[in-house]
Amino acid sequence: MFDIGYSTLVLKKYPTPNKEYPRGKTGRSEQAFSEVLTISLFLLCITSMPRTAQQLRDDAQQIWWAGVRAVQPARLIPEFVSVEGQTLFIGEQEFDLHAIDRIAIVGAGKAGAGMTLALEAVLGEKLLDEKQVFGWVNVPGDCVEPTRCVKLHAARPAGINEPRPEGASGSAEILRLVGQLGPRDLCLCVISGGGSALLPAPVEGFSLEAKIALTREISARGGTIEQMNAVRRELSTIKGGGLARACGAGQLVSLILSDVLGDDLEVIASGPTVVRQPTPELALQVLEELQLGDLPAGHEAIGLLERRNRQEVKYTSQGSKTPSPNPSPKNGGGGLKIGSGREVASCEVVNLLIGNNATAVDAAGIEAERLGYSHAMISATASEGTAESVAQHLVEVAKSMRDRAEGGGPDCLISGGEPVVQLSDESTRGKGGRNQQLALAALAALKDWRGLALLSGGTDGEDGPTDAAGALVDEQIAARATEKQLDVADYLRRNDAYHCFQQLDGLLKTGPTGTNVCDLRVITVNKDEGGRRKDEG
């Protein structure tokens, strides 16, 4: 074990099966275990070799990409979905295909295109034809690809992670489509990170323009994803179980790729298939905490939510039975009456988590081990705080690993999470994202980057309204910042990390990765540097 102050981390010498989120019948844990044992002797030889600055940088990127590849839908979907004869297996569920007339595929998210294509591939041409498979999935504009039978709809432009009219029209089509399904139909829903912005369906009395303005301001004031979605759910007809309530199919199975720390199914894409009791009081609490009442859209939302809250209190006081606000993830609350006695989810609902941030962190750890690193890993399960505070902690860990490396301990830290960024005034605000802000804060916090490299990137390939996934800091980047006499603290204060790293050749540009499980950070350390620094001292 290695105590770094933030959490006690386990030094992984080989991967172990993920007990909390089983990987299905075709999991790779046993194969990975064998692979690591096979190369163990080789690692004993190379771990003592010093690493150059370029190698630290290259290794950090290779480790990061290994984590991203592990959460690609093309790898995850076949682990949970398969067809054998006339039986469709999804997780632990078995479906008799003789009893199914049609299969519909709907959903939304940054991984929506990959999940759709993977589902079509697993089902196969014969089944796609026999069951008249059709559907509609909202995705970012740069993720649209040719498919066999499901419409991939560009619900927003690339890099604009907020509700758009295109998304609203797509959401309306999804609700219309699922409403036409019958009791002998099966509905498969693909949900992934970014789904909330891709599924706008404002409640009556609240405009899309007001919703856009409200979500922008929640983000600008440092609101967490939990706070954002607490508000989104109560102002939507499709979120908070709305899709499940609208579905007329006999069975609904939702395949979920989590971009939420802690994997709360109600929060991922605002839980369109997780039927729940309305909680307008929670949304009101968020709006109050962020002081959004002075914003026209905030004032409008507060008025609407207060009216709904009074209705819920009146409904509950009359003795009407309401479900638990946290229904079982297995059944998703399907079939329960919710709200003011309005709707009933007529279909049986199953919500299945197929991947998360821990999946990516685990896979990155396996790659680090393969490259000869002794690594520590952590995947956050709750809000991490600001990008600056997370960066400060990572810098302290990096320094500790470098200084202690000669005497043992890890020389690689892999962490996953999602910090928040407190935005500066719009008049001085630059360009960037939370990963770029974190990397810039790390650069500002440490002068001596010898023997260290840090990479922070969004697993979706998008970091804020930029074309970068994140940024990288190492000895070369720090030297360039000094040579160019850049005022790093000023760039940091103005949230202008993009333009700073653009001058330093430190931006991580990947394009859309086709997945989304929060952020992944990698720190690599040269073991020899700690000893060299002591000698110099």
Phi and psi at residue 265, to the nearest 5°: -65, -25
Percent of the chain with pLDDT over 90: 75
Residue 500 confidence (pLDDT) above 60: yes
DSSP category for residue 102? -
Q: Kindly indicate the confidence band of residue 197, based on its pLDDT and cuts at 50, 70 and 90.
A: very high
Lowest mean pLDDT among 41-55, 240-254, 437-451, 501-515: 41-55
Mutual angle of helices 53-70 and 475-483, in 10-degree steps: 120
Name the one residue in this structure whose structure tokens are 């999946």: 359
Give CA–CA dist 232/270, Å, rounded.
7
Inter-residue contact 232 to 216 (CB < 8 Å): no
Task: Report the pLDDT averaged over residues 431-437.
Answer: 97
The b-or-e profile of 460-497 (16+ CB within 10 A means b, else e) is bbbbbebebbbbbbbbbbbeebeeeebebeebbebbbb
Residue 530 has a pLDDT of 53
Residue 327 has a pLDDT of 36
Number of other CB atoms surrounding residue 273 within 10 Å: 34
- Give the pair of three-digit tokens for residue 492: 């940091």
Residue 317 has a pLDDT of 53
Which has more pLDDT, 57 or 18?
Answer: 57
Q: Kindly indicate the confidence band of residue 439, based on its pLDDT and cuts at 50, 70 and 90.
A: very high
Q: Kindly indicate the confidence band of residue 383, based on its pLDDT and cuts at 50, 70 and 90.
A: confident
Q: Kindly indicate the confidence band of residue 8, based on its pLDDT and cuts at 50, 70 and 90.
A: very low
Inter-residue contact 415 to 525 (CB < 8 Å): no
pLDDT in tens, 445-457: 999 999 999 999 9
Task: Report the pLDDT averaged over residues 49-75.
Answer: 96
Task: Report the pLDDT averaged over residues 505-510.
Answer: 98
DSSP category for residue 459? T
Q: Kindly indicate the confidence band of residue 343, based on its pLDDT and cuts at 50, 70 and 90.
A: low
All residues at 6 or more sequence positions from 215 whose CB lies less than 8 Å from its CB, including other chains: 162, 163, 197, 228, 231, 232
Computed on alpha carbons and rounded to an integer, the radius of gyration of the chain in Å comes to 24
Phi and psi at residue 526, to the nearest 5°: -85, 115
Strands 150-156 and 134-140: parallel
All residues at 6 or more sequence positions from 128 whose CB lies less than 8 Å from its CB, including other chains: 120, 148, 149
Domains and CATH numbers, the chain: 26-39+50-71+358-536 (3.40.1480.10), 73-201+237-275+322-355 (3.40.50.10180), 203-235+278-321 (no CATH)
Residue 534 confidence (pLDDT) above 70: no
Give CA–CA dist 31/413, Å, rounded.
24
Which has more pLDDT, 259 or 27?
Answer: 259
Give CA–CA dist 136/139, Å, rounded.
10
Lowest mean pLDDT among 186-195, 291-300, 303-312, 496-505: 303-312
Give CA–CA dist 367/63, Å, rounded.
6
Q: Which of 489, 507, 497 is nearest to 430 (CA)?
A: 497
pLDDT in tens, 214-232: 999 998 888 888 899 899 9
Phi and psi at residue 275, to the nearest 5°: -70, 130
- Tell me the DSSP string of 399-446: HHHHHHGGGSS-SEEEEEE--B-----TTT-----HHHHHHHHHHHH-
Instruction: Give me the residues paired with residue 106 across strands.
Output: 136, 189
Query: Residue 436 burial (CB < 10 Å; 0-12/13-18/19+)?
Result: buried
- Give the pair of three-digit tokens for residue 468: 């970068």
Give CA–CA dist 526/373, Å, rounded.
10
